[in-house]
Chain A
């Protein structure tokens, strides 16, 4: 996964700085190297380096670049390790054509061999570098115009891509195209943008044009022209206005995006509840009518689908399974016309999920998705989409999108309950009332626990390993809590069903070993007490996420995090995860890690 951005502007002012500002907003898409190409004096100038944007700015003066036109790239390595040579932009032999690319070219080996025979010299190990050389080849050997050469090139490419091309042969236009990787256009009175994601230009414009697969765009400072590069037909598409405020893409006064996004949860969940989506009823009906139901997701989103799985079983009374997207092959033989696939994703670009739903669609399944990013790839492969309305999430560790995903599962679940009659009229209304209170209880959970988790974190930060135990619906809360601790604090954490912990994991318990219990006052309460005593007896230090004033557990745990009472078990999976997010954040702080850029992780994984 990578972030790409291109700018064509009326004047030559600060183009380097503008590109850098946009790239910073895209750093969540990858951050192992950075590069920019501009045209100055009819020469293509490429500056690139390995490292995060701020480190690269220290090394080379990217800010000072001038020109009317520039493209920039922030990379997350797929072909070839992070290095200066492998950084984008890549150029042709004569240094006249510069290309940036997000995606993977599957047939690049064979294309590269042909080009090498033709005498082209390659400087990197990337798949991307074949693009400028192929364009050069078409121009030299077939006397093509630049634009035609680009279109011929991308038609030959197999795989996924969003590309931007800039060339001294046509020095005031950017050409871009996409297939399966994201690309959007932003329109401002004196400059035009193309980028992987909207936050890249949100501080300049809110007018956005979404691109579809197989579309090719010519971008000049005063306009854009879209054509479909497979049938060469012109595409008319008007911009729409995004409602995100520009500051939503910044971290404001919060030290990290992650903390800001934790705090944002009460308002993002309230947004979701406020916006009534017609697709909800259609999704619920289709799920209820289906014979087989599979929820499909990766990472954090997978844990949110466990709520969906529980609710569909409960209210539709149907066998339903939550499957990790990369393990889709194991259910592929079961897919037919009576199957519903429910993919859940933040970015809507998770490659494992996209490949799975493409296959399921071929086999006749209906695809009903819950996605945060509007117009993303998954939404275009779906029959119905429920949007999460969580706004852009920049912190690599998912927080507000996890709670939004879980909330959408409750939303679908309750609707199914109403349709199936499992929830009577009164029951349904009561449940909805409670559901509407979720933003309030989330707010209280943050306020009451932040200082406490900060204190617990001082102790937790010294540990190397921990367990998170839960039961029933809150097994997923334990799993999500453990994942957050791994992702950003780099402390080994495992989640187990509380009852399962004595079948193995308990052997690892020693003095002062941290065990976190998700123990709301529901039907799991008694069994959780048993489990706490078991762990305590073996010397573990126990930490409880409990209902406020729960005396039984209060006395058993060393540290407690309390969630306001008066809310039934129905919605515990959302508020009970809040202290887990805070605990992971503050533990990362005490250990000196930056939670916004966890090592080895990227925001959404758009490679297989």
Chain B
């Protein structure tokens, strides 16, 4: 069976991190999230993979090439400027149309291992026409809600929360087995869920494969922190590369992965599970705790504390900073004394602006989301859930109460 992975979306909700990369190239524990999916497919023997690219697709092509390095065979379909799942699917049609069915996978999900195998098993065991994986969400948000019957068959897919016609808490988990003759319906209905529903009405059997394990959809910036925690908590063994320099009184707890050429200076406490990429320097008396992933060539200066955060490659946090529940973009510099605030006053859940709308994240603690190539000045204070755009330069001593965008370039 061939696999089609959709990786062409713009990921607007993930701004500013998607200003510079497509969603599937968000890198956690040293690998883009797309790579985790591809490696799992390979381990299942599904090596014929079609990646549908679009927005900044050249980065994906550049990284995965023909798949030889990953022991798979990758072909690329291009959805170009067209948006939406339907255009992406139609772009893949010619690659799979000679088969009877294919595995469809969204490129922005981070599930515990076994999701795709579950879909295949359910497809075979139930001898259904198609299969879709479902997972439970307390808040169904903007996911496609799916209603199932008591035998585990799909009754209706793609229900929106605002419909209020369904109380189901099962949402589609981004992994399907689709019959290739569904393309006609996709063309006429202009929607995957509508096409599936049309088939169900005609009497097709669509089975639900229920995924009771962990699953994160990278839809909103804080999902990156959740996915990072999920990947770290699944680590079973520590690994420290051979040419690493760790001072004698450094304390390492729980599972840690430390790549080559990392230097950790004395007095630091590293509380795993955590990941530190190659060539990173950790200064004296640093505290790293609660699920941190630090990219390649990063730097953490004297006396800083990093908690439950993701630092992309080349991020630098200088001395005496506090970075909590945050994402720091590639090559961004956090100067000395910068503080992220991680709670709202009064134990309220933190809100974030997403595309101009204020959205409750449902989290009691959330720090800052900072884009690539920023320079955050000394003693800057960043309020909870605030975002800083790519290439921003923030003056020393600034208090960031609203999302920060650089001033329009002044024409000299």
Q: Which A residues fall within an 8 A CB radius of B? A: 247-248, 250-256, 259-260, 263-268, 444, 447-448, 450-452, 454-455, 586, 589
In contact, A264 and B150 (Cβ under 8 angstroms): yes
In the complex, A248 Cα to B149 Cα: how many Å? 13
A253 in contact with B212 given A264-B150, A447-B167, A447-B169 (CB within 8 Å): no
Interface-forming stretch among B8-16, B181-189, B203-211, B363-371?
A: B203-211
Report chain A residues within 8 Å CB of B167.
444, 447-448
Report chain B residues within 8 Å CB of A260.
151-152
B212 to chain A, nearest CB (A): 5
In contact, A252 and B122 (Cβ under 8 angstroms): yes
Report chain B residues within 8 Å CB of A255.
118, 210-212
Extra contacts besides A252-B152, A260-B152 (10): CB < 8 Å: A252-B151, A253-B148, A253-B207, A255-B211, A259-B210, A263-B152, A265-B150, A451-B138, A452-B138, A455-B138
Tell which of A247, A256, A267 touches B126, judged by Cβ atoms closer than 8 Å.
A247
In the complex, A255 Cα to B150 Cα: how many Å? 14
Tell which of A250, A265, A444, A451 touches B169, judged by Cβ atoms closer than 8 Å.
A451
Interface string of B310-326 (1 = CB under 8 A from A): 00000000000000000
Enumerate the 3 nearest inter-chain pairs by beta-carbon distance, A residue then B residue, closest first.
Answer: A252-B152, A451-B169, A253-B152
20 contacts between A and B (CB under 8 A): A247-B126, A250-B126, A252-B122, A252-B126, A252-B151, A252-B152, A253-B122, A253-B126, A253-B131, A253-B148, A254-B152, A255-B212, A259-B210, A259-B212, A267-B150, A447-B167, A448-B167, A450-B136, A452-B138, A589-B212
A454 in contact with B210 given A253-B122, A263-B150, A448-B167 (CB within 8 Å): no
Q: Which B residues fall within an 8 A CB radius of A? A: 118, 122, 125-126, 131, 134, 136-138, 148-153, 167-169, 207-213
In the complex, A450 Cα to B152 Cα: how many Å? 15
Query: B209, B211, B212 — which one has the most chain A CB atoms within 10 A of its CB?
Result: B212
A250 in contact with B125 given A255-B118, A264-B151, A447-B168 (CB within 8 Å): yes
In the complex, A250 Cα to B122 Cα: how many Å? 11
In the complex, A412 Cα to B137 Cα: how many Å? 39
In the complex, A398 Cα to B301 Cα: how many Å? 58
In contact, B136 and A253 (Cβ under 8 angstroms): no
Tell which of A253, A263, A264, A444 touches B209, judged by Cβ atoms closer than 8 Å.
A253
Tell which of B136, B137, B151, B169 touches A247, judged by Cβ atoms closer than 8 Å.
B151
Closest-by-CB residue of A relative to B208 is A253
Closest-by-CB residue of B relative to A455 is B138
B386 to chain A, nearest CB (A): 27
Report chain A residues within 8 Å CB of B150.
263-268
In the complex, A586 Cα to B151 Cα: how many Å? 19
In the complex, A251 Cα to B152 Cα: how many Å? 8
Closest-by-CB residue of B relative to A400 is B150
B357 to chain A, nearest CB (A): 23
Report chain B residues within 8 Å CB of A254.
152, 210
- Count A/B pairs, Cβ under 8 Å: 68
In contact, A586 and B212 (Cβ under 8 angstroms): yes
In the complex, A258 Cα to B169 Cα: how many Å? 18
In the complex, A448 Cα to B136 Cα: how many Å? 11
A196 to chain B, nearest CB (A): 23
In the complex, A448 Cα to B138 Cα: how many Å? 9
In contact, B169 and A450 (Cβ under 8 angstroms): yes
B163 to chain A, nearest CB (A): 15
In the complex, A119 Cα to B26 Cα: how many Å? 75
In the complex, A100 Cα to B284 Cα: how many Å? 71
B349 to chain A, nearest CB (A): 15
Report chain A residues within 8 Å CB of B149.
267
Tell which of A253, A447, A452, A455 touches B210, judged by Cβ atoms closer than 8 Å.
A253
B229 to chain A, nearest CB (A): 13
In the complex, A266 Cα to B167 Cα: how many Å? 15
Report chain B residues within 8 Å CB of A444.
167
In the complex, A251 Cα to B213 Cα: how many Å? 17
Closest-by-CB residue of B relative to A248 is B151
Query: B126, B153, B169 — which one has the most chain A CB atoms within 10 A of its CB?
Result: B169
In the complex, A265 Cα to B149 Cα: how many Å? 11
Report chain B residues within 8 Å CB of A250.
125-126
Report chain B residues within 8 Å CB of A259.
210, 212
Closest-by-CB residue of A relative to B170 is A450
B129 to chain A, nearest CB (A): 13
In the complex, A256 Cα to B121 Cα: how many Å? 13
In the complex, A250 Cα to B126 Cα: how many Å? 8
Report chain A residues within 8 Å CB of B125.
250-253
Report chain A residues within 8 Å CB of B137.
451
In the complex, A254 Cα to B150 Cα: how many Å? 10
In the complex, A252 Cα to B149 Cα: how many Å? 11
In the complex, A265 Cα to B150 Cα: how many Å? 8
B343 to chain A, nearest CB (A): 19
A393 to chain B, nearest CB (A): 14
A488 to chain B, nearest CB (A): 13
Closest-by-CB residue of A relative to B169 is A451
Report chain B residues within 8 Å CB of A447.
167-169
Closest-by-CB residue of B relative to A589 is B212
In the complex, A203 Cα to B268 Cα: how many Å? 62
Tell which of B136, B207, B208 touches A454, judged by Cβ atoms closer than 8 Å.
B136
In the complex, A248 Cα to B136 Cα: how many Å? 23
In the complex, A264 Cα to B152 Cα: how many Å? 9
Closest-by-CB residue of B relative to A266 is B150
In the complex, A69 Cα to B136 Cα: how many Å? 46
Report chain B residues within 8 Å CB of A267.
149-151
In the complex, A605 Cα to B179 Cα: how many Å? 45
Closest-by-CB residue of B relative to A250 is B125
A176 to chain B, nearest CB (A): 30
A80 to chain B, nearest CB (A): 35
In the complex, A253 Cα to B134 Cα: how many Å? 10
Closest-by-CB residue of A relative to B167 is A447
Report chain B residues within 8 Å CB of A454.
136, 138, 212
In the complex, A493 Cα to B169 Cα: how many Å? 28
In the complex, A448 Cα to B148 Cα: how many Å? 14
In the complex, A259 Cα to B168 Cα: how many Å? 15
In the complex, A259 Cα to B167 Cα: how many Å? 18
A231 to chain B, nearest CB (A): 45
In contact, B153 and A252 (Cβ under 8 angstroms): yes
A439 to chain B, nearest CB (A): 10
A572 to chain B, nearest CB (A): 20
A272 to chain B, nearest CB (A): 14
In the complex, A118 Cα to B175 Cα: how many Å? 66
A451 in contact with B209 given A250-B125, A264-B151 (CB within 8 Å): no
In the complex, A559 Cα to B150 Cα: how many Å? 27
In the complex, A268 Cα to B136 Cα: how many Å? 23
B77 to chain A, nearest CB (A): 29
Tell which of B118, B136, B148, B151 touches A451, judged by Cβ atoms closer than 8 Å.
B136
In the complex, A248 Cα to B126 Cα: how many Å? 11
Report chain A residues within 8 Å CB of B210.
253-255, 259
Report chain A residues within 8 Å CB of B169.
447, 450-451
In the complex, A265 Cα to B167 Cα: how many Å? 17
Report chain A residues within 8 Å CB of B131.
253
B79 to chain A, nearest CB (A): 30
In the complex, A451 Cα to B213 Cα: how many Å? 12
Report chain A residues within 8 Å CB of B134.
253
Report chain A residues within 8 Å CB of B122.
252-253
In the complex, A311 Cα to B134 Cα: how many Å? 41
Closest-by-CB residue of A relative to B166 is A447
B143 to chain A, nearest CB (A): 12
In the complex, A260 Cα to B150 Cα: how many Å? 7
In the complex, A252 Cα to B210 Cα: how many Å? 10
Query: A248, A253, A450 — which one has the most chain B CB atoms within 10 A of its CB?
Result: A253
Report chain B residues within 8 Å CB of A452.
138
Report chain B residues within 8 Å CB of A266.
150
In the complex, A372 Cα to B168 Cα: how many Å? 30
Query: A254, A264, A454 — which one has the most chain B CB atoms within 10 A of its CB?
Result: A254
Closest-by-CB residue of B relative to A447 is B167
In the complex, A411 Cα to B265 Cα: how many Å? 74
Report chain B residues within 8 Å CB of A253.
122, 125-126, 131, 134, 148, 152-153, 207-210
